[in-house]
Amino acid sequence: MTIHEALLEAQAALAQLVEANEAKLEAQLLMQHVLNVNWAWLIAHANDALQPDIHADFESLLNRRLLGEPIAYILGYREFYGLKLKTTPDTLIPRPDTETLVEVALAKTSPFQAEKILDLGTGTGAIALAIASNRTGTQVTAVDASQAALNIAVENAENLNISNIHFILSDWFAALNNEKFDVIVSNPPYIEQSDAHLNQGDLRFEPMSALASGQDGLDDIRKIIDNCLVYLKPQGWLMLEHGYHQAEQVADLMAQIGLTHIETIKDLGGNDRVTIGKNPLIVSTHWD
């Protein structure tokens, strides 16, 4: 059997699970993985014979995928904002929607200033690493309450040679001292605990603590908003990812604690995805 023939078979099987385009892409990704080659090699060698042992490896990965295991966990990585990130069942799988949060953070920070940025619930480190690598003058602090997730984030930073970032084991702000930040970003869990999506697709395999957050999905968002002013510099920004139907509630919570310039930004799919607000306090000057 040739590589191409094996790909076609896999593609047909995967089409039961995902859309046709996605099925083709996933079949190719699994094949690249077992052959340890890039996409260009795969296409150029489509008519090569597939060795039986490699074919067996391919079938075993394919079967895992057909049982619903996320492609990111099978491959062990996911691309996010141009970065290849190690991704395991200890971490949420980085999603394209979250690139919106990175874009917003980059838009509000300057490449020419040494700003301090905090990422709450960093998981694989996706957001923190994307910001740190595009704002090399900044100092990024990334926290997570899961030591297992933090280990992955640290490994990702090392693999990518990104050094303007440090990692702290912390339940949201709990382990932070009196440090203040120019920007606080977070993609916290925000799904309603009774949402049926938690029992579907990739979400079944992801850490529940990174997905669900109480009855209305806003428990963690409330915690972050209620505590953020202690850690935000005057004029600093809070930027939160949330569910497509949560923008108004998040904006209200931000308004309640006095944040200004509140704005919601849509993701590439056109859904409300990120809401930001600014600490209105001005640095006061004392003349004694």
Question: Which residues lie near ligand GLN (CB under 6 A)?
Answer: 95, 97, 187, 189-191, 203, 211
The vertex-42 CA angle with 36 and 46, nearest 5°, equals: 130
What dihedral do alpha carbons 125, 128, 132, 134 form, nearest 10°? Answer: 100
CB of 98 to ligand GLN, least distance (A): 7
Q: Read off the amino acid at residue 205.
A: F
For ligand GLN, the closer of residues 50 and 251 by Cβ is 251
Instruction: For the CB of residue 238, give the shortest distance to ligand GLN in the complex, in Å.
Output: 16
Beta carbon nearer to ligand GLN, 11 or 264: 264
User: Any idea which residue has 């023939």 for tokens?
Assistant: 5
In whole angstroms, the minimum distance from the beta carbon of 46 to ligand GLN comes to: 34
Is the Cβ of residue 4 or residue 222 nearer to ligand GLN in the bound state?
222
Burial class (CB in 10 A: 0-12, 13-18, 19+), 174: exposed
Query: Which of 62/191 has CB closer to ligand GLN?
Result: 191
- Per the CB < 8 A criterion, the answer to whether 124 and 285 are in contact is no
Taking the complex as a whole, the smallest distance from the CB of residue 199 to ligand GLN amounts, in Å, to: 12
The residue assigned the tokens 């690249």 is 32
Spatial separation of the C-alpha atoms in residues 117 and 131, rounded to whole Å: 9
> What tokens appear for 87 in the block?
């991704």
- Rounded to the nearest whole angstrom, what is the least distance from the CB of residue 134 to ligand GLN in the complex? 21
Q: By three-state DSSP, how is residue 198 classified?
A: helix
Measured from the CB atom, the residue of 35 and 128 that comes closer to ligand GLN is: 128
Number of residues written out for the chain? 288
C-alpha angle 170/264/84, rounded to 5°? Answer: 55
Which of 115, 272 has the CB closer to ligand GLN?
272
**Closer by beta carbon to ligand GLN, 97 or else 219:** 97
Give the span between the Cα atoms of 101 and 187, in whole angstroms. 8
**Residue 171: what residue type?**
D
Dist. CA 65–CA 201, nearest whole Å:
11
Please report, for residues 164, 186, 195, 227, 259, the alpha-carbon distance to residue 219 in angstroms, rounded to integers and kept in the order given.
Answer: 31, 14, 15, 13, 19
State the nearest-atom distance from the C-beta of 101 to ligand GLN, in Å.
10
Q: Which is nearer to ligand GLN, 9 or 219 (CB)?
A: 219
Residue the block writes with tokens 């009774």: 194
Q: How far is the CB of 3 from ligand GLN (least distance, A)?
A: 33
Smallest gap from residue 36 Cβ to ligand GLN (A): 30
